[in-house]
Structure 1
Amino acid sequence: MNFRNLAFLFAVVSLAAQEEIGLPSWRYYPHEEYGAMPQNWHFTQDHKGLMYAANSMGVLIYDGVRWETIKVPSRLVRSVAADDTGRVWVGAYGDLGYLHTDAVGNTRYVSLMEFVPDSQKKFSDVWSVVPTAHGVYFSTRQSLFVWNGRAMKIFPGDYGWVSLIDHTVYAAKNKTGLMKADGDSLVLIPGTESDADNILSIFPWLGKLFFFDGKLGLLSFDGQKVTVFSPALTEIFNREWANRVAVLPGGEIAVSTHRKGIAVIDSTGRITRWLNTSTGFVTDDVKNLFVDREGGLWAALENGIARIALSSPSSYFNEGMGLKGTVESMCRWRGRLLIGTGSGAFTMRHNRGIQFEKIPDIDGQCFDFLNAGDAVIAATGDGIFEINERVRKLAGYRSAVIKRSTANPNIALLGLKEGGVDYAMDDNNKALVTD
């Protein structure tokens, strides 16, 4: 990640500071680095830890150092999924199959189209692939294909997402409801009947089964009926063109959107943070999300790939949040976080996410703070300032450091270019103007 020209603050997040979570770090992979098309659609990880990405030019394989592209006849790959043996199954435009690696390590794509009847070969994108112990499911808007290793079983219909949850296969049949695999059949789960026609994710969360529809938003199923999780979120998702959901290790979910990047949502339905260009992320158009075994969040982007360290205990704040200049100092005062930078002094505010507001009248470098109880004393390049309900200039000293005397707590020590100076405070910790 490139931090040049960014003023950033590295903050260690503790349980006591959950409301001060900033941006996670991430690693961005532009298409020039991996050597294929910019657009990516899906991810999987095999038992060896190798990452696979569904790309508009084929399947990308990444071992942590080197990228490799495996071509498929139709070029455009929409979905990939690794099974327990490490075999990677592939869903492409008008094609489906798997990757095969020979004895000398060469990998190629093997199509299963010869097992699809001619009357069923005219399908478009395979949006999801789910390998199970009983077969591999490939979902399209025309049919659901199930490969058992010998033959292809076909369920005609408009199918959205397919997921394997607790050894059970769930398939979303658009304009019908949620289907469940029962032997060689698919049966409609009572209570899930729905007009949803664009189901994009199915996942377990909060002890319930959730599915995400492009128009209706997050829907939960408690075993009896389907309910909208949050009408407010539905409005946001519709406006920002939300598409996929990933459950994060900490119990939150991440939702990708085409217009506003990634939203992280807690169990109450509150958006705890956005990752998009306004907060310094590389793009607003995110196609899909995947959590790897180390807890990293992979984002399939309109123009590249990113791995985001959302589960890391550290985060940072940048210029996109209003924090300008190189960070010089920090101070906690009455529950507020004050930041001194080369461009002045700032305070953290919570207004639909974290933002920093500039403290008025302090325009020069703010080198140090002293918590004086009723106020904060700021040592800056333009003088000494008192900050409380208002800002007051106390003296013209250009000071880079201010500390309370250990011998006399009513004395503050200022470090000046020409030497040091004592600065008095009264018994109530209020600064005395001596200049």
Structure 2
Amino acid sequence: MKLTFPKCLFYILLSTLTPLYSQVKNIGLPEIRNYKKTDYKGGTQNWNIDQDKNGNLYFANNNGLFQFDGISWHKYSLPNLSVIRDIKVEDSGKIYVGGYNEFGYFKSDSKGKLIYNSLSKFLDKKNHVFDIAWKIHLHKDEVVFQSFENAFIFKNNRISTLKPLSRFQFSFQVENKLYFQDISNGLLEYRDGKFYRLEGTTILNNTEVWGMFQMPDNKLLIATIDKGLFIYENNKINSWNSEANTFVKKNSCLGGVSIQKKFIVLNSVLNGIIICDKTGRIIQHINQKKGLQNNTVLTSFVDDKNNLWLGLDNGIAFVNENSPFSYFGTSYDLSTVYATAIYKNDFYVATNQGVFHHSWNTPFQEDTFKLVEGTTGQAWNIQVIDNQLICAHNRGALLIKDKKLNKNLDKKGYWSFKKIPNNPNYMIGSNYNGFSLFEKKSGEWQFIQQIMGFSKSVGNFEIDNKNIWVKKDDLIYQIILGNDLKKFESIKTHQNLSKIDKGITSIQTIRNNIYFQTNNHFYKYSQSNEVFYKDTIVNELFKKIPQTNTIYEDNIGNIWYVIKESLCVFKRNKTGGYTNIVAPFYNLTQNLVYNNLSINTIDPENIFIGLTDGLAHYDSKLNSNFITKPKAFIRSFSFMGDTIQFGNEKNKMGKFKIPYKSNSEKFTFSSPTYENMENIKFSYQLEGFEDKWSNWSSSSIKEYTNLREGNYTMKVKVKNGHGIESDEASVPFTISPPWYRHFIAYVFYVISVAIIIYYIRKRIQTKIRKNKYFETVEQRRIYLEKEAKIRQEQFDLEKEIERLQNEKLKTQILVKDKELVTNSLQVVKKNKILNGIIQKLKDINIDSFDESAKLQYNKLNKSIIKEVNTDHSWRDLEKHIKNVHFDFLKKLKEKHPTITPRELDLSTYLLMNMSTKEIAEIMNISSGGVELSRYRLRKKLGLNKKENLTGFLMSI
């Protein structure tokens, strides 16, 4: 862009004056938000405005005092329901107000509710009727309430009356000095309870002074309602020769306010407000046409963020002066903006209604944009190419000269134009049917022809030395232009940039290179290798950025990008690096023109951004004071039958104790953030009930029901329209348990349980003692029974042992008897044999023996006879049998006394279970004799035939 001398001069002046202008911009309009009386539900007129340390705003309204915390409005009335004309907020939190026959202050009670305290009631009857207290001043250690009749001084909790010299009009506090206008004596300075006249000010006696401002060199600026503006210097008053004075004389002045001691806001009756510098040059003019709902401004106030509040004759207005953004909208006759350009000291704007222009060197305060004749319709782009202004229009390629249409180069619809590299006299235009070729002849662009070989409608495109790159239908078209420039040699399509990165999102030129982007991965194209390859520099820049689909580099190297309809920028530093700036552009979210980003960076102080409803002007050098950390407040804390409010005083976050019956709580939140209010979000957490913070929400109310007893802390934080989070605010509170879960109840429960346990323990101990006694007795009884049983069992065992031993002994005796009998029988047999031998020896004739044989024979005979005679086995047997069976024989004899010894022997032999043969041999009788003896014995014993004799004997 070629810079003419006037344009260079303008830039120099603008850059020189910008530091002086601070945040008040002379290009476009700041954001304006109107509050109607239906919003705050009060009267129409608002006479004064002030702000407390927490950021809450207060408005003196016809219907009372109104408080605004950024979220909700609260109304407070005087006892007599009077209009309130003035308010002043003291650092302590007291809000002094003045109304009809009433003045005093509002102060928060123990629960945060503003309670009115009347001071006028302490006046004597003579001064009690004073009409309206118009002005209030916090002057040193005094509070001054001024009416037309008197002024009342509140100091050290006492009221004193200050009389006028004649009659007061209004009063003004300028820095540390307090001035009164007396209708007959001009301006008076109040010092130490006395008035001192300002010489030369009686000229003001025939008008009303509505404002006084400090000027350089100890001058005073005096604003009158109908005579204009005056400078008071060296005891003289002179009219202020300035643009501001001309405006005031025409529209009547209702006072104003200073901004940062650099600018003056002047309120008017007929035409809104103006903001001028200390030289009287008008910087801004805001009226009903430019966004105010009413042209009569009764008061103006600058808040703690240097934003402007206006009390109107009907409603309230907020003017966002502390912003690097200003806007050209409907008040400038602009609609949707697609592109802008500066050409020959004129500013051109391409819109959906045509091309509009405005002088670049003329201030923008008053004039609207004018339509360029012949351009009505959809203008997609406007560009300065080789010092010619060309518009890409729905009706063709329009050449504009002298603020009007000069020529339509081609009647097809066009999107944009680009010069062909290495061919300075040729450019290509993208149109609804492909591309057209233009040639510069005799210093002017002319249409040559439609380039053959490609007929798709193309919006944006990029061009390098050999290729035209177009993104269309999810493909990249690589189009090679022929040498004659009249047709395309080849067309290639690319669907993906690599095997990893699928699809193609955008094509853009960055740092004089064409980049292809998908998923925030950036590629270049290698002409020699015919492949796409990653670029590390830009990739690293967008590494931590959410996915974007629109990227644009402006003419000073800033890289703009869009994320979900939100605009951001990598600002180019002097060192060549980048700073990512996001927050300032949140207020433009959803206002950008979709898929048609328009950024025109003339210089860092003048950046124009196209919007759906006009144009935004952005000064990137005004960011320092624009974005501040918001503050979050818990505005109120309500529970059954009571509400705790945290109002204009410093929040005293004591721990609140709440009865269990009030365990349903309601919290309201606020944040005195008045810029971009529709995007303010809250997040909260009830510690002790919730484990994590809630999602961000625009709701400023949260309710909880049926909370259990315990300790809780309600925490809240806010995120403003620029995405900046506040520190958290918190209110700790305790819900008392119900009476049956109260600490005292638990103490009672513990004591009761202890008593019950003690009683039960004693009962159990007593029962245990009784049980132990009875158990001891029972155990003793059981023990004795067991002992007796054991003794009996022992006795029985002994008897059994004795019996078994007897049986064993009897068995052994029987065995022995049997053996003895057997032996005895053998002896009997032996003796019988020996007797037989003796008898046979007797039959031998020994006479034939010789003497030796006879001798031997006689020895043998004698030996045998001796053996027979000396054998006492039989007698021993009988003796043994009698000894062994003595008891048996005794019992048998006692039962049957008639039994004979011979029968006793037989009974013994039968008891021993001896056979008949054995008995016969022992008794030396025959077997028949044994049977006969048995028979006789049975008969003597009285046994019948069926009874067994041996069994009977064994039973004895």
Single out whichever of 95-104 and 260-269 deviates more from structure 2: 260-269
Partner of 1:395: 410
Name the SS for the 1:284 alignment partner. Answer: coil
Q: Which residue of 2 aligns with 1:152?
A: 160
**Aligned AA (1:269):** G
Are 1:38 and 1:303, in contact at CA under 8 Å, matched by a contact in 2?
yes
What is the count of residue pairs matched by the alignment?
420
Q: In 2, Cα distance between the equivalents of 1:151 and 1:20?
A: 47
Q: Does 1:188 align with 2:188?
A: no
Q: Distance in 1 between matches of 2:15 and 2:399?
A: 31
Name the structure 1 match of 2:319.
Answer: 308
SS in 2 for 1:423: strand
Alignment map for 1:30-45 (pairs within 5 Å): 30-45=36-51
- Output the CA distance in 1 between the equivalents of 2:82 and 2:26: 44
Give the C-alpha shift of residue 105 in structure 1.
0.4
Which has the higher mean CA deviation after the structures are superposed, 399-408 or 251-260? 399-408
User: Are the equivalent residues in 2 in contact too, given 1:87–1:99 (CA < 8 A)?
Assistant: yes
Q: Given the alignment of the two structures, is residue 102 of structure 1 paired with residue 117 of structure 2, yes or no?
A: no
- In the TM superposition, 1:112-261 aligns within 5 A as 112-148=119-155, 149-156=157-164, 157-196=166-205, 197-207=207-217, 208-230=219-241, 233-234=244-245, 236-249=247-260, 251-261=262-272
Q: Does 1:338 align with 2:338?
A: no
Matched position secondary structure for 2:445 = coil
Distance (whole Å) between structure 2 residues aligned to residue 327 and residue 382 of structure 1: 17
- 1:154 partner amino acid: L
Task: After TM superposition, list the pairs within 5 Å mapping 1:245-284 onto structure 2.
Answer: 245-249=256-260, 251-284=262-295
Counterpart of 1:422, as a letter, is: L
Question: Which residue in the other structure is 2:28 paired with?
Answer: 22
Matching residue's letter, 2:67: I
The runs of 5 or more residues in structure 1 that have no matched partner are: 1-13
Aligned residue type for 1:383: G
**C-alpha distance 26-140 of structure 1, shift in aligned 2 (>3 A):** same
Equivalence map 1:322-333=2 (5 Å): 322-323=333-334, 325-333=335-343
Aligned equivalent of 1:55: 61
Aligned AA (2:343)? W
What is the CA-CA distance between 1:371 and the residue it aligns to?
Answer: 0.6
In the alignment, the residues of structure 1 paired with residue 276 and residue 389 of structure 2 have an alpha-carbon distance, to the nearest angstrom, of 35
Q: Take 1:232 and 1:344, find their aligned partners in 2: how far apart are those partners? A: 34
CA distance in 2, matches of 1:400, 1:306: 41
Q: Does 1:84 align with 2:91?
A: yes
1 CA distance for matches of 2:216 and 2:303? 21
Q: 1:42-71 CA distances to partner (integer Å, 9 max, x unpaired)?
A: 101122222110011111111221211110
1:385 aligns with 2:404: no
Is residue 434 from structure 1 mapped to residue 441 from structure 2 by the alignment?
Answer: no
How far apart are residue 303 of structure 1 and its match? 2.1
Distance change in 2, residues 1:367/1:20 (3 Å): farther
Residue type matched to 2:409 in 1? L
Q: CA deviation at 1:199?
A: 1.1
Q: What secondary structure, in the 3-state scheme, does the structure 2 residue paired with 1:425 have?
A: strand
Higher strand share: 1
> In the alignment, is the contact (CA less than 8 A) between 2:244 and 2:274 conserved in 1?
no
Q: Is the 8 A contact 1:328 1:340 kept in 2?
A: yes
Give, in angstroms, the shift of residue 415 of structure 1.
Answer: 1.8
Per the TM alignment, residue 130 of structure 1 is displaced from its structure 2 partner at its CA by 0.5
Which whole-Å CA distance do the structure 2 matches of 1:159 and 1:377 have between them? 65
How much has 1:113 moved relative to structure 2? 1.4
C-alpha contact (below 8 Å) 1:367/1:401 kept by paired residues: yes
Separation (CA, whole Å) in 1 of partners of 2:268 and 2:34: 18
What SS does structure 2 have at the residue aligned with 1:378?
A: strand
> Structure 1 residue 411: deviation in Å?
2.5
TM-score (norm 2): 0.42
Q: Is the 8 A contact 1:395 1:433 kept in 2?
A: yes
Identity %: 23
Rg (Cα) greater in structure = 2
> Are the aligned partners of 1:272 and 1:353 in contact in 2 as well (CA < 8 Å)?
no
Q: Deviations over 1:378-429 (max 9, x none)?
A: 110011111122522111120122233344333222222222223222474x
Conserved 8 A contact 1:160-1:200: no
8 Å Cα contact 2:88/2:95 also seen in 1: yes
Deviations 1:329-387 (A, max 9, x none): 10111232100101110111348733211110111111111212442011100111111
Give, as a single letter, the amino acid of the residue that structure 2 aligns with 1:371: V
Could you tell me whether the CA contact under 8 Å between 2:210 and 2:253 is conserved in 1? no
Q: Is the 8 A contact 2:223 2:253 kept in 1?
A: no
TM-score (norm 1): 0.89
Instruction: Find the residue that maps to 1:126 and give its secondary structure.
Output: coil
CA distance in 1, matches of 2:99, 2:420: 70
Letter in structure 1 aligned against 2:345: G
Contact 2:121/2:128 (<8 A) preserved = no
Distance 1:250 1:379, change over 3 A: farther
Q: How far apart in 2 are the matches of 1:376 and 1:175? A: 64
Check whether the contact 1:28–1:304 (CA below 8 A) recurs between aligned residues.
yes
RMSD between aligned residues: 2.3
Matched, 1:413 2:420: no
Greater CA drift, 281-290 or 231-240: 231-240
- Give 1:202 shift: 1.8
What SS class does the counterpart of residue 180 from structure 1 fall into? Answer: strand
Find the counterpart in structure 2 of residue 376 from structure 1: 389
> Which residue number in structure 1 is paired with residue 549 of structure 2?
none
Cα separation, 1, equivalents of 2:427 and 2:116: 72
SS in 2 for 1:195: helix
Aligned ranges for residues 346-357 of structure 1 at < 5 Å? 346-349=356-359, 350=362, 353-357=366-370
* Residues 189 and 337 of structure 1, relative CA distance in 2, 3 Å threshold: same
Asked if the contact 1:171/1:180 (under 8 Å) is kept, the reply is yes
Deviation, structure 1 residue 17: 9.8
Return the alpha-carbon distance in structure 1 between the equivalents of residues 261 and 393 of structure 2.
41
Deviations along 1:81-114, whole A, 9 cap, x unmatched?
Answer: 1123232111112211111111110102222112
How far apart in 2 are the matches of 1:234 and 1:246? Answer: 15
1:74 touches 1:95 (CA, 8 Å); kept in 2? no
When residues 124 and 238 of structure 1 are mapped into structure 2, their CA distance, relative to the original with a 3 A threshold, is: farther
Give distance in 2, aligned partners of 1:310 and 1:281.
Answer: 14
Q: Distance in 2 between matches of 1:202 and 1:17?
A: 25
Shift of 1:264: 2.0
- Equivalent position amino acid for 1:122 in 2: V
2:245–2:280 contact (8 Å) kept in structure 1: no
